[in-house]
Structure 1
């Protein structure tokens, strides 16, 4: 749980990190949230009360974001949570990798999620598999198409890793894929960092990107310049 989050959607937000994820991204900065059997249980009404108590801090634009892990593994329960938040007049947001699209997810997205922040991992199947340890990148794009069809707001997120995801051809490919989407308000770029390595070490896992470097300011500027041709707003976190 995080209070006063400022990088998880619009305004000041209460962020609820849910346990469990089917991916194992090489750069994951919350690897302790991957295990689907970890975490602790919270009653939905307790979370709603906590959010209601924070309403004065949310202001006009803030609200509640569910992140992870992959929050949509718990879509069925999130329907009730978001429904209650909407009854209390609280803005709702899902931070997701787009791997889950079942009828519970569709109900949540179509009826109760004011915003979706969708993490685009890679634009090629080979690159996707190497980066996240799973097949079929197209699931994320089917998810995006469903959100677009709903007409509801969406932000994209993309991690910039030199020589891996920060390549001009990949950035152009992403821009071309999404250039006609009407629901995308912005794309947020996350320059690669190694702040989560200690968590991998604590879990006894090998961090395979230990030799990866951070982007130079010039590389970040070049990526922004490319994506500016395709999106309404490009933000660097």
Structure 2
């Protein structure tokens, strides 16, 4: 994900009575990795996790976004509605973590769904309990970022918590029949242990609604953002995975009957 369009400064324009406010970091148009077709991707500000490989630490903090009403964000989406419809795409709510703002996220998804736009939710699942049934009814696809299977590795990756909320959320989605794209970030020396990958692969294979798995190779393209925020980049000395490691990890998914990229 590479957010590039920041909401313009200034006061939010009045919306309709009862419209929900949220904090939006930026938005962009994307193709391929944020759902099918060309997508309008809105990056919401605020995240409870501090993943060591995160390439958008500027989305961690609500103060780095702008408060907007759902009406205002919908006006931006409407500008691209015909284009993304013709391109076979839709809208994706990402972050940060969109389920940190469940009312705003739910309203945007419902309104886009009502316009006939394909909707996707990009989430770690850590706050999956915040997603009520109405929100999920308006979600056509969930991009589920499974950080790691091994509990100690999960804590090293995220700095907090447990993978259990993500697993519960994934199973809940599967029980509902919701299509899932699993995301797994491959970091040499951190997430690449065979048993760790095997756990994620077994979980994904057991859900029954996983359409694909994206094995995302770690990169250092966001390192400059840490410097701008006055933060140390935890993986500054880590090299991206080579082709042999990528092939091995993808094979751990495909041998379980999953489609892996």
Same fold (TM over 0.5): yes
Give the corresponding residue for 1:15. 41
Against the structure 1 CA distance between its residues 88 and 202, is the aligned structure 2 distance closer, same or farther, given a 3 Å change threshold? same
Structure 2: tracts of 5 or more residues without a match? 1-25
TM superposition shift of 1:4: 2.6
Q: How many residue pairs are counted as aligned between the two chains?
A: 234
What is the CA RMSD across the aligned residues, in angstroms?
A: 1.5
Task: Check if 1:157 corresponds to 2:183.
Answer: yes
Q: Calculate the TM-score normalised by the size of structure 2.
A: 0.85
Give the corresponding residue for 2:208. 182
Give the corresponding residue for 2:161. 135
Determine helix, strand or coil for the equivalent of 1:42. Answer: strand
Partners in 2 of 1:205 and 1:185 — Cα distance?
37
Give the corresponding residue for 1:27. 53
Give the corresponding residue for 2:124. 97
Give the corresponding residue for 1:214. 240
* 108-117 vs 64-73, which moves further: 108-117
The answer (yes or no) to whether the contact 1:78–1:108 under 8 Å persists in 2 is no
Post-superposition Cα deviations, 1:95-141, rounded to whole Å, max 9, x if no partner, equal 10111133x51224431111100101111111111111102211110
Partners in 2 of 1:105 and 1:129 — Cα distance?
23
Structure 1: tracts of 5 or more residues without a match? none
Against the structure 1 CA distance between its residues 131 and 217, is the aligned structure 2 distance closer, same or farther, given a 3 Å change threshold? same
* 189-198 vs 48-57, which moves further: 48-57
Against the structure 1 CA distance between its residues 230 and 60, is the aligned structure 2 distance closer, same or farther, given a 3 Å change threshold? farther
Pick the aligned partner of 1:67 from 94, 100, 114: 94
The answer (yes or no) to whether the contact 2:109–2:135 under 8 Å persists in 1 is no
Pick the aligned partner of 1:52 from 78, 81, 86: 78
Give the corresponding residue for 1:226. 252
Q: Calculate the TM-score normalised by the size of structure 1.
A: 0.93
Give the corresponding residue for 1:114. 140
Task: For CA contacts below 8 A with separation 6 or more, give which structure has more relative contact order.
Answer: 1
